[in-house]
Amino acid sequence: AEKKNSTKIYVYCWRGGMRSRTVVNLLLLHGYDAVQIDGGFKRYMNDIVWKGLDRFSKQADTLPKFIVLFGNTGTRKTEILTHLPKNVPTLDLEGLAGHKGSLFGHVNSQVKAQKMFSIGLYHFLTDFRDEPYVFVEGEARKIGDCHVPEFIIQKINNDTNRILVQALVKTRVRVIREEYEITETSLKQIREATNSSVMIRNAGKKNVEHLNKLLNECNYDEFTKWLLLNHYDPRYRCNKQKFKYSLTVQSDDLQKCCQQLEKYYRSLLDNKEESNNS
């Protein structure tokens, strides 16, 4: 049969048995370039993904330097990663995890399992391992259900190119409201997170009652503002105040912010080239 296109299709089942073999034969019959992964998904995870990440962890000093975006919740850090020019490498860990990295991070998200997160991370590191610099957001050790490898956390905390992203409170409220668009499903998720034992322990029972009152009144802007100023900001100051920053940017104007960051990235490349030539 004539080939449909030049894209190779890799097919696997759990152990690389008859099911995937049958699918490959059907694809070949209809003109597709298909191959079966010998050993299946189990071998792929064990021999490629897990061993690959372990190899990267032992060679962490040869990986790209991280340019780490730090900033309060709602300062558009993840949005920046997706709006930088395509020729500027970015690693979106929250995107790989399908989670926004907070108590409410699962709302309006398709949460990924650890295996899928690890697959995405492995392939990113494989594809971009020769880049000198990569933008990444400062993350915790766990994003949703996904554990970030320790060597990635160490690079986030120790690589010296740190950017502080700031924005007006009104911008942050608007951004969060857009990300957590209110629907019947999302509102149920928000209520569950608000009344969780974690929130009660961190915010206190009276404050949780106040938050529920705002939700019942559909006062979502004030609900968001309260969480930002009274829950997230104090926790951020406690965790990140030890860092020194190479640059501070305002993300209220996203386009201007990305232009500043691209300029900073280009300056790092120029300095590296000059250093290599000297």
DSSP secondary structure letters along 178-209: HHT---HHHHHHHHHHHTSHHHHHHH-HHHHH
Q: Taking Cα atoms as reference points, which of 169, 138, 161 lies closest to residue 75?
A: 169
Q: Taking Cα atoms as reference points, which of 239, 247, 275 lies closest to residue 101?
A: 239
Q: How far apart are CA 199 and CA 206, in angstroms?
A: 11
Q: Give the strands of the sheet with 65-71, arranged side by side.
A: 90-91, 133-137, 65-71, 161-166, 247-250
Q: How far apart are CA 94 and CA 186, in angstroms?
A: 18
Q: Is 13 annotated as catalytic? A: yes
Contact between 201 and 154 (Cβ < 8 Å) = no
Query: Could you tell me whether strands 90-91 and 133-137 are parallel, antiparallel, or unpaired per DSSP bridges?
Result: parallel
Q: How far apart are CA 122 and CA 270, in angstroms?
A: 28
End-to-end CA distance of the chain: 57
Contacts of 53 (CB under 8 A, 6+ apart): 118, 121, 122, 125, 149
Contact between 137 and 78 (Cβ < 8 Å) = yes
Q: How many CA atoms lie within 13 A of 238 on its CB side?
A: 6
Of 13, 146, 218, 238, which residue is the catalytic one?
Answer: 13
Residues involved in catalysis: 13
